Amino acid sequence: MPADARVRNQPPAPDFEVDDGPSLSNFFSNFGNGGGNSSGPIQRQTVGFHSNYAPGTIIVNTAERRLYLVQPGGQALRYGIGVGRDGFRWGGVHKVTAKKEWPSWTPPAQMIARRPDLPRHMPGGIDNPLGARAMYLGSTLYRIHGSNEPETIGQAVSSGCFRMTNDDVTDLYNRVSVGATVIVKN
């Protein structure tokens, strides 16, 4: 095999590096027993984050099932997220184009075709699948949003949106402005 073929078959080098600190504390934080400030199964944490991304940039790492909000000084806030199930994962760069508190939900036609039992519209509220807050990504139907199923955080269960606990999405919502860059990496 030519040497350049091996290089092409390798995953791209990451463009950021996360410093998790002591490994035992990271082990426990992944199971909700340490470190963060949220009530979900994956605790929100401040971590070392060495990259060239500007503060305020959101990095979604679907493989890790984590979302990073880049902070000044080589740090980021790391949140646990639910991601798209097989066939619904995507990558790319978008901007936050809108933010809504207790958003209403209208399932898209493709979702209704898969799940005819879904309501055609649901007002905002505690039972709404978009949860307490939503940040809309570009002109897509994708969102970073809360959830009425916090137990799904850390799993691949969505139709392409990124789910967070309501506590975490409210925290992120309060820190992010319309126009923020969102980079989704698979």
Active site residue 145: yes
Give me the catalytic one of 50, 94, 121, 161: 161
- If you ran DSSP here, which 8-state letter would residue 122 be given? B
**Joined tokens for residue 91:** 């990558």
Active site residue 161: yes
Residues 6+ apart with CB under 8 A from 175: 69, 77
Which amino acid would we find at residue 141? L
Burial of 157 (0-12, 13-18, 19+ CB in 10 A): middle
CA atoms within 13 A on the CB side of 166: 15
Give the residue numbers marked as catalytic: 145, 161
